[in-house]
Amino acid sequence: MNPQSATSYARLIDLLKPHARSLLWGGACMVIYVACWPLLARLAGELIPAIGDGEFSRVIRVITIALIVFLIQKLAQFGQDTLFAGPALWLSQDLRSDLFRTLQQVELGSIEKLSAGDLTYRLTEDADRVGEVIYKTIQDTMPSILQLLAVFIYMVFLDWQLSITTLILAPLVALLVSQFGAKVLKAAERSQKQVSDLAGLIGEAIQGLPLVRAFAAESWLQLRFENEINQHRKARYKTLRLLALQHPVVGFIEAGGILAVLAIGTIRIQSGDLDAKGFSSYVAALLMLIDPISHLTTNFNEFQQGQASLRRLREIEKQSKEPSDLKNAKSVTKLKGDLDINSLTFSYLGDKPVLKDVNLRINAGQKVALVGPSGAGKSTLFSLILRFNKAQQGEIKLDNEDISLLKVKELRGKLALVPQQSIIFSGSIEDAIKFGRKATDEELIYSAKMANAHEFINELPNGYKTKIEERGTNLSGGQIQRIAIARAVLGNPSLLLLDEATSALDADSEEAVQLGLRQAMKGRTVLIIAHRLSTVQGADQIIVLDKGSICEVGTHDELMRRKGRYRVLCEKQIIRDGQCE
C-alpha cells in the first residue's frame, strides 16, 4: 500500500499526530473511566450482602462511595468523549481535503468515467463514515476493550476457576461476531454501491430534467428511479436483517454463559470455595462485561462498513493522475503566441488514432478556424494543447518550445479556453471572472468590458457582487457566455481556444457574444472550433479536419473555389448561418 495514500492506515495515524496532546489527555480520562468498573464491581460485592444482612448504615456508606465513583467515572467519560471528538473530526476533514486534492490531480479522462453523483457520495458519505468509525474506535472501542480486560482480570483475581467458564465462552462469541462481520461487510458494500448508483441517477435526472419533460419521459424516469430505490431497499434490508440476527444470537450466548456461571458459582459457594461477598462482586463484574461486548459487536460492524467506505475512497486514489512536471521543466514567461504542431498522432487508450500526423503552423496574432464534422478530433486537439492528454507521437510547440517541457500550470496560465457551453461556479460574478486569480478592480472591469459584459453586470442589482446561483440559473445563456469570455481574457492569455456555441442563442444575445468574442480575440493567437460562416469568413486561415487528418487549409474563398471537403461541409450546413457562396 502506498504510504502517502490519503486513505492508508499509516496516513490516518499521521493525520492524528498533530492532535497527540488531546489524545493523551483523552487517554488519561479513559484510564480513569475504565478503572472505575472493577471498583464498582467490588462495591456491588459489599452492597448486596449488606442489603441481605439489613445493615442500613453500611448500605448508605457503600451507596455514597458508589455515587462518588460514578460521578468521577461519568466526568472522565465526558472528558474522554470530548477530547477524542476534536482529533477524529479533524482527521475526517483532512482526509476529505486530501481526497479532493487527489481528485484535482486525477486525469480528466479517468474522472469522466466516474459519475458526478457517485463521486459526490464518496467524498461526502463515505468520508463521513470513515471519520465516524475512527471516532467510534478511539472513543468507544478502545475503552470497551480496556473495560473488558480490566473487569476480566478482576474476575480472575476473585475466582480463577469460575473465570475459565467465561473464558471458554468468549472465543465462541468472538467467532460468531467475526463471521457475522464478514457477511455484514459484503452486504454493506452492496448497499453502498446501490446508494452511489442512486446518487448518479439523481445527478443525471436533475441535469436532464428539462430534457425529460421535453420528451415526456417522466414515467420512464420514475420507473428507473423506482427500480433503483427498490434495489437499494433490498440491499439495505439484507444488511439490517443480518444485524437483527446478530444481536439475539450473540445475546443468547451471553445469557447462556451468565446462567452457566451462576450455576457453577452456586456449586462453589456450597463447597465453601467462594463467599457470598466474592460471588456478588463476581456476578456484578460479569454483568459489566455485557455492555462492552455489545458495544464491540456494534462497533465491529460499523468498522466493517467503514472499511467498505475506505475501499471506495481508495478507488479514487487508484485512478491515474496527471503526470507531474519534468524535473527540469521550464518556466513560462511572456509568450508571443506562435503555435507549431508537428506530426501529431494521438489515440485514446489503444484505440485507433483520433489524430493522425497533424501538421499546423499558426503565427502569433493569427485567427485560425478549425472546422470539420463531429468526431473529427477538434476537441481532442484542444485537449492536447491544454495538456489534458499527451500525444503518442509528434510535438506541439509554443514560441518554439515543446509544451511538454514547460511547467503545466504556467502553460495553462497563458492559454484560455472558452468552451461551447460555459460552466461558471456559484458565487459572485466577480468571483466567477477572477476564478481564483488575483486582479485589481480595473483589470476586472477591463476584461468584462472586453467581453461586452460590463454593461449588463452593472445593470444587475449588486453589480459585480451579484450572486450567481448554482449552474448560473439567474443568468441567460448569452450572459454566462460573456462572463466566460471575461474570465478567459482576465489572465491576458497569449493563445485563446474557443469552441463556438452551436446551441442557438437568440439574435440579440448572439450579437452581444460575438462582439465580446471579437474584442477578446484582438492581439492574440486564436484557435476557434467554428460552426458559423461569419466566423470562418473572418479567419486568417481555415483548417478542415476530417477523421483526424487535416484535409484542406486555406481561406474561405480559396476553399470554396477548390470545391473539396470544405465546400461540402458548407453546403451540408455543417458550417451554417449563411449562404455558402
> What's the order of all strands across the beta sheet hosting 355-362?
355-362, 339-346, 393-398, 401-402
Q: Which of 22, 141, 304, 379 binds ligand ADP (CB under 6 A)?
A: 379
Minimal distance, residue 382 CB to ligand ADP, in Å: 8
Q: Residues 375, 554, 518, 335: is their CA dihedral positive or negative?
A: positive
Q: Does 139 bind ligand ADP (CB under 6 A)?
A: no
Q: Which residues lie closer than 8 Å to 288 by C-beta, 6 or more apart?
A: 37, 40, 41, 147, 151
Task: Please state, as a whole number, how many other Cβ atoms lie within 10 Å of the Cβ of residue 12.
Answer: 16
Query: x/- string (CB under 6 A) for ligand ADP, residues 328-357?
Result: --------------------x-----x---
Position among 367, 378, 482, 524 found at the interface with ligand ADP (CB under 6 A) = 378
Cell of 239: 444488511
Nearer to ligand ADP, 281 or 380 (CB): 380
Candidates 202-210, 231-239, 378-386, 458-466 — which segment interacts with ligand ADP by CB under 6 A?
378-386
* Least distance in angstroms from the C-beta of 578 to ligand ADP: 21
> In angstroms, what is the minimal distance from the CB of 354 to ligand ADP?
4
Within 10 angstroms of residue 24's Cβ, the number of other Cβ atoms is: 11
Rounded Cα distance, 78 and 72, in Å: 10
Cα separation, 26 vs 354, whole angstroms: 60
Is residue 271 close enough to count as binding ligand ADP by CB under 6 A?
Answer: no
Q: Which of 543, 546, 549 is nearest to 357 (CA)?
A: 549
Backbone angles phi, psi at 492, to 5 degrees: 45, 60
- How is residue 106 written as a grid cell? 486525477
Kindly state whether residue 377 participates in binding ligand ADP, applying the rule CB under 6 A: yes
Q: Which whole-number Å values give the CA distances from 356 to 157, 373, 384, 542, 544, in the listed order?
A: 82, 16, 13, 18, 13
**Closer residue to ligand ADP, CB minimum distance, 335 or 371:** 371
Q: Is there binding between residue 43 and ligand ADP (CB under 6 A)? A: no
Question: Which of 147, 169, 138, 93 lies closest to 303, judged by CA?
Answer: 138
For the CB of residue 352, give the shortest distance to ligand ADP in the complex, in Å: 9
Cell numbers placing 568: 461540402
Of 376 and 569, which CB lies nearer to ligand ADP in the complex structure? Answer: 376
List the grid coordinates of 567.
Answer: 465546400
Q: Does 374 bind ligand ADP (CB under 6 A)?
A: yes
Based on CB atoms, which residue is closest to ligand ADP, 50 or 543? 543
The 480-509 contact track toward ligand ADP, x by CB under 6 A, reads ------------------------------
CB of 422: closest distance to ligand ADP in angstroms? 16
- Examine residue 454 and tell whether it contacts ligand ADP (CB under 6 A): no
Under the criterion CB under 6 A, does residue 392 sit at the interface with ligand ADP? no
Question: 109, 208, 427, 554: which one contacts ligand ADP (CB under 6 A)?
Answer: 109
- Helix then strand count (H, E) for the chain reads 21, 12
Rounded to an integer, what distance in angstroms lies between the CA atom of residue 252 and that of residue 242?
Answer: 16
Candidate segments 2-10, 45-53, 372-380, 485-493, binder of ligand ADP by CB under 6 A: 372-380
Residues that bind ligand ADP (CB under 6 A): 109, 112, 348, 354, 372, 374-380
